[in-house]
Chains A and B, each alone.
Chain A
Amino acid sequence: DAGITQSPRYKITETGRQVTLMCHQTWSHSYMFWYRQDLGHGLRLIYYSAAADITDKGEVPDGYVVSRSKTENFPLTLESATRSQTSVYFCASSRYRLYEQYFGPGTRLTVT
């Protein structure tokens, strides 16, 4: 039972590059979420998806793009990475809207 996985776990990229972070879950959960976690801040929602082909912005969506063509995958793309996007990114999934969210192990992204 793999649960929810993220790849890569660590990534270093340069300013201006495009980067895609992958998220995969094996539970067929309807809802999937992307968060970023920075020192001194709680987890902040970037984007969420209620089902395949349904996505919506969260609290801090600028500079990010998501897609969800399949229920199990929810990639997050930084179209032109900036230093301010250096962070730890967590993907999460839940079966229903207010049910418990299960988090992936995170991706530590550094933009130089």
Chain B
Amino acid sequence: KNQVEQSPQSLIILEGKNCTLQCNYTVSPFSNLRWYKQDTGRGPVSLTIMTFSENTKSNGRYTATLDADTKQSSLHITASQLSDSASYICVVSASNDYKLSFGAGTTVTVRA
């Protein structure tokens, strides 16, 4: 069964600090991996998407990495802002299926 595991479940950081979120997956055959940001009370919004051949993808202060050999991805948030407080969801697609495999998400709280 295709699975996506995220860690930590939640974290609290001070404004201006950096943090890294982890995603491990067993989805096969791999097609692409996305990181979504979900603000409280809203739907998820895509931050980055990476295919097999991409190791790093940036979107402003968000940088995602992918190691397709170890089936691991990370999302690094640089110089965090209060608006970064949200749930971050790792989503993996298999090339032979329409369905997406969702992680349970990491809740990030940024404090002033």
Please report A residues at the B interface, Cβ cutoff 8 Å: 31, 40-45, 48, 50, 58-59, 90, 92, 97-98, 100-101, 103-106
Question: Are B93 and A43 closer than 8 Å at their CB atoms?
Answer: no
Main secondary structure of the interface of B (DSSP, over half): strand
- The tally of residues in B whose CB lies under 8 Å from a CB in A reads 22
Contact A98 B46, beta carbon cutoff 8 Å: no
Check A31/B98 contact, CB under 8 A, given A100-B49, A103-B44, A106-B42.
yes
Tell me whether B104 and A42 are in contact (CB under 8 A).
Answer: yes
Q: How far is the CB of B73 from chain A (nearest CB, A)?
A: 15
Closest to A59 in B: B99
Residues of B within 8 A of A92 (CB): 43
Once the chains are docked, how many angstroms separate the CA of A42 from the CA of B105?
7
Are B32 and A42 neighbours in the complex by a CB distance under 8 Å? no
Partner of B34, one of A31, A48, A58, A100: A100
Per-residue 0/1 for B76-100: is the Cβ within 8 Å of any A Cβ (1 yes, 0 no)?
0000000000000100010100111
Q: Does B41 contact A (CB under 8 A)?
A: yes
| Beta-carbon contact of A106 and B43 below 8 Å | yes
Task: Please determine whether A97 and B43 come into contact, CB atoms closer than 8 angstroms.
Answer: no
Is B14 part of the binding interface, using a Cβ–Cβ cutoff of 8 Å? no
Asked if B104 and A98 sit within 8 Å, CB to CB, the answer is no
Q: Are B102 and A98 in contact (CB under 8 A)?
A: no
| One of B95, B100, B103, B105 near A101 (C-beta < 8 A) | B100
B71 CB, min distance to chain A CBs, angstroms: 17
Closest to B9 in A: A40
- Which of A40, A45, A103 lies in contact with B99, CB distance below 8 A? A45
B89 proximity list for chain A (CB < 8 A): 42-43
Q: A42-B4, A42-B89, A98-B31 are in contact. Are A48 and B98 (CB under 8 A)?
A: yes
